[in-house]
Amino acid sequence: MAELPHILIVDDSRVVRKSLIQHLQGQYEVREECDGEAAWQTLVVDHSIKAVISDLQMPKLNGYELLERVRTSKLRRLQQLPFILVSGEETEEERVRAKELGVSDFVTKGAGSTEVLTRLNNLLVLTSAQETREADRERLVQDPVSGLFTRKYLELQAAQALSHSARHGVDVSVMVLGFDGFAGLCERLGEQVADQIGNRFAKMLTGKMRQEDSLGHFGNGQFAIVSPGTAPAFCATFAERVREAIEVARLSVQGQTVALTVSIGLASVPNDQVDSAASLLDLAGERMQKAMQAGGNRTESGGILPATRPISLHHAVELLAANRPGPVIPHLPALAERILPLLKLMGQELELDLALPLAEIEYRLSERKSEKN
């Protein structure tokens, strides 16, 4: 048999409490208190109470004071608790004050126990519906495990951003990021561990985003960022910073170091002609897939910026420190050209005999560049 909802009755009259309890028995499990202070203590410790029926005039703490404590409590369950005030005389002044304090309903004792029961039933039905809607909204908005926005909610955020863009002529950019070889990562480490890696990645992203940006799930091992008011060029710059940061990260999982890379797809309005928020996200997702098919570890921006660009000396050093020379090798000629002035200066200022034929190296690099052109 299902447990009955718990109700608290607060009244200094034993006769009134007994009368209410007789009407509520069978539908509710009733607790009773004879003053407001005792009722407050009960509400704090008893999480099972679903509603309060309270007299207005009581010793120690009257109905108004009890209601005020409940509504100003730091406990969310008390802030939203259905609260019915019962008064011997229902004046307009009393109604206004009760409403200002956040009363759920206000009845006179002359209305009878049946009326109180009807009001209580209606309040609990309404509260249940509100809790269901809130739970549905939370499921729509946030993933229960990672706490990130769902893809459906990201579409709503993107739709709002597009509406604002149409009115004010500002850019809206979207990034979709996916781990390269995520299916293989799941096979090696298990889906649970792979998801944990994704959540760690998402936390890193959250720390780098603006407050007005929205981060959420796009697919398995894939995430999307909706960035209102961001020009595509700035979005592409951010994407490259994220890609490079993941490329050099040293992630320890189950006692082993895991090397990860991401592919990123970008789309923006008004640069890309799309007819909906879903289409904008899908376009960014398609470009991410294109980046993966081209070998991964790159950004596909639809022509805003090259999908690959020369790496910096700092990034090259980070890659070598991470024991990952592979991504550096294609950029060695450009890196050598950039480092030659530094080597010359070191030789001159530090009086070091580097024993390097710098002129010969410079000549050969120039010759190699001419051959390629």
Q: How many CB atoms lie within 10 A of CB 224?
A: 27
Rounded distance between C-alpha atoms, residue 302 and residue 187, angstroms: 32
End-to-end CA distance of the chain: 84
Cβ-proximal residues to 183 (8 Å cutoff; 6+ apart), any chain: 220
What is the tens place of the pLDDT at every residue in 342-358? 777 777 776 666 666 66
**pLDDT value of position 328:** 78
What is the tens place of the pLDDT at every residue in 150-187? 888 888 889 989 988 888 888 999 999 999 999 888 88
Please name the residue ranges forming H helices in the chain. Answer: 14-24, 36-45, 63-71, 76-79, 92-101, 113-141, 151-168, 182-189, 191-208, 232-248, 277-293, 313-321, 332-349, 358-372
Please say if the pLDDT value at position 1 is more than 50. no
Residue 265 tokens read as 């797809």
**pLDDT value of position 139:** 55
What is the tens place of the pLDDT at every residue in 107-158? 877 666 677 778 888 888 887 777 766 555 555 566 766 778 888 888 888 9
Q: How many CB atoms lie within 10 A of CB 160?
A: 15
Read off the pLDDT of each residue in 14-27 and give the average, rounded to a whole number. Answer: 85
Please say if the pLDDT value at position 330 is more than 70. yes
Rounded distance between C-alpha atoms, residue 327 and residue 334, angstroms: 13
**pLDDT value of position 308:** 47
**pLDDT value of position 209:** 84
**pLDDT value of position 306:** 41
What is the tens place of the pLDDT at every residue in 251-308? 777 777 788 899 999 999 999 999 899 999 999 999 999 999 999 999 999 887 643 4
Read off the pLDDT of each residue in 192-204 and give the average, rounded to a whole number. Answer: 86
DSSP 67-126: HHHHHT-S-HHHHT--EEEEESS--HHHHHHHHHHT-SEEEEGGG-HHHHHHHHHHHHHH
Please say if the pLDDT value at position 106 is more than 70. yes
At 221, is the pLDDT very low, low, confident or very high (cuts 50, 70, 90)?
very high
Rounded distance between C-alpha atoms, residue 334 and residue 338, angstroms: 6
Report the mean per-residue pLDDT for the chain: 83
What is the tens place of the pLDDT at every residue in 38-87? 999 999 988 889 999 988 888 888 989 999 999 998 888 888 889 988 88
**pLDDT value of position 77:** 85
Please say if the pLDDT value at position 2 is more than 60. no
Please say if the pLDDT value at position 222 is more than 90. yes
What is the tens place of the pLDDT at every residue in 74-97? 888 888 889 988 886 667 787 788
**pLDDT value of position 132:** 64
DSSP 297-335: SSEE-TTSS-SS-PPPHHHHHHHHHTT--TTTGGGHHHH
3-state secondary structure of 31: strand
At 33, is the pLDDT very low, low, confident or very high (cuts 50, 70, 90)?
very high
**pLDDT value of position 355:** 63
